[in-house]
Structure 1
Amino acid sequence: MSDALSPPPGTSPSAQQIAVDTRVVLSRLRRRLRELTGEESGMPAGQSSVLARLAREGDASSSELARRERVRPQSMATIVAALESAGLVARRPDPVDGRKQLVALTERGRAHREESRGAAHAWFTRALDERCTEEERQTVLRALALLATVADAP
């Protein structure tokens, strides 16, 4: 049985190290950005994540949201209830199956999401400006272009 982190045969040591380091750094960055969107609004990360998913993917049933967020349906019911009581989401009948209810962002929910995204963007921009030289920022841009190519690999 092979180790889940064992590199594919024939890959270079540098590719192996880049793969590990990139995953670690991206995970830390993503966690920090998610914390910021919740911190700035005083909203728990689970609620912030559901708002982000609804903004990105559109209306969904509570059970769909639970599956996509990888939480128990009971936990999602609590999250949706909190968002609904804050006026950030509303339930509406599913046009295809009237027995189901869909969770949808309200205008207030959309505005809240945009404000949260703005806070994360401002932090990231400021951090890049304060922690990196112009030359380093240009290096990051080149690295991102390469990573975009890698992301499209089969």
Structure 2
Amino acid sequence: MSNRKPSPQTELTRTLATELRAVYRKLKLRLREHGGANDLTPSQASVILRLEKDGASTVSSLARLEGMRPQSMSAIVAPLQQSGLVRGAPDPSDGRQTLMSLTPKCLKWLQEGRAARQDWLATTISQKLSVHEQEKLQTALELLTRLVED
């Protein structure tokens, strides 16, 4: 068994990873705070985002994509329907199926929430960071983008 200490570079890498995750978490929470009221569960939010991205879908298809049973997905979708965020309509190609889709109310809510988060972030950047710091942030974002590219 080796008693070697990690290299300074390894320590820096670990510290950067830890701090990056912490900052990401805080930023995500702050953006949520400024996006308007959000009483959705993570599963409900996931369904809404999936319907927005992929379009109308049956409860069974949503369940399969989310890795759960259709009965569980029905329990997630029902409150979304009751709140007017999601609606069901007969599938034109198979009338026995119901296609779930986002309502105009939901689309407006998504748009307003995103706009509020964007406004908060842009205002915060301009108020808290100098022009030089904003340029440094742009460089850091380029590096972060490289981290998540495939």
Q: TM-score, normalised by structure 2?
A: 0.71
Tell me the SS of whatever aligns to 1:45.
coil
Cα distance in 2 between the residues matched to 1:97 and 1:20: 50
Moved more, 43-52 or 106-115: 43-52
Question: In 2, distance between residues paired with 1:36 and 1:73?
Answer: 33
The alpha carbon displacement at 1:97 in A equals 5.9
Deviations for 1:63-102, whole angstroms, at most 9, x for unmatched residues? 5545666888666534422322333211134466654433
| Alignment partner, residue 6 of structure 1 | none
Q: In 1, Cα distance between the equivalents of 2:89 and 2:124?
A: 41
Alignment of 1:5-44 (within 5 A): 12-37=10-35, 40=36, 42-44=37-39
Aligned pair 1:132/2:129, yes or no?
A: yes
Q: Quick one: which amino acid aligns to residue 33 of structure 1?
A: L
Secondary structure of residue in 2 paired with 1:16: helix
Q: In the aligned structure 1, how far is the partner of 2:132 from the partner of 2:138? A: 10
Cα pair 1:35 1:45 within 8 Å, conserved: no
Using structure 1 for the length normalisation, give the TM-score: 0.69
- CA RMSD between the two structures: 3.1
Residue 151 of structure 1: how far off its partner (Å): 1.2
Report the counterpart of residue 141 of structure 1 in structure 2. 138
Question: In 2 relative to 1, CA 118–71 (structure 1 residues): closer, same or farther, beyond 3 Å?
Answer: farther
Q: CA deviation at 1:148?
A: 0.9
Secondary structure (helix, strand or coil) at the match of 1:60 reads coil
Residue aligning to 1:7: none
Equivalences for 1:1-154 in 2 at 5 Å?
12-37=10-35, 40=36, 42-46=37-41, 47-65=44-62, 76-94=73-91, 99-153=96-150
- The AA in structure 1 aligned to 2:99 is L
Alpha-carbon distance in structure 2 between the residues aligned to 1:110 and 1:142:
33
Residue by residue over 1:9-57, the C-alpha shift from the partner in whole angstroms, topping out at 9 and shown as x without a partner, is xx732222222211221122223323433xx2x3303245543332233
SS at match of 1:90: strand
- Structure 1's unaligned 5+ residue stretches are 1-10
Any stretches of 5+ residues in structure 2 without a counterpart?
A: 1-8
User: What is the distance in 1 between the residues matched to 2:33 and 2:134?
Assistant: 23
Matching residue's letter, 2:39: P
Structure 1 contact 94–100 (Cα < 8 Å) conserved: yes
Secondary structure of the structure 1 residue equivalent to 2:34? helix
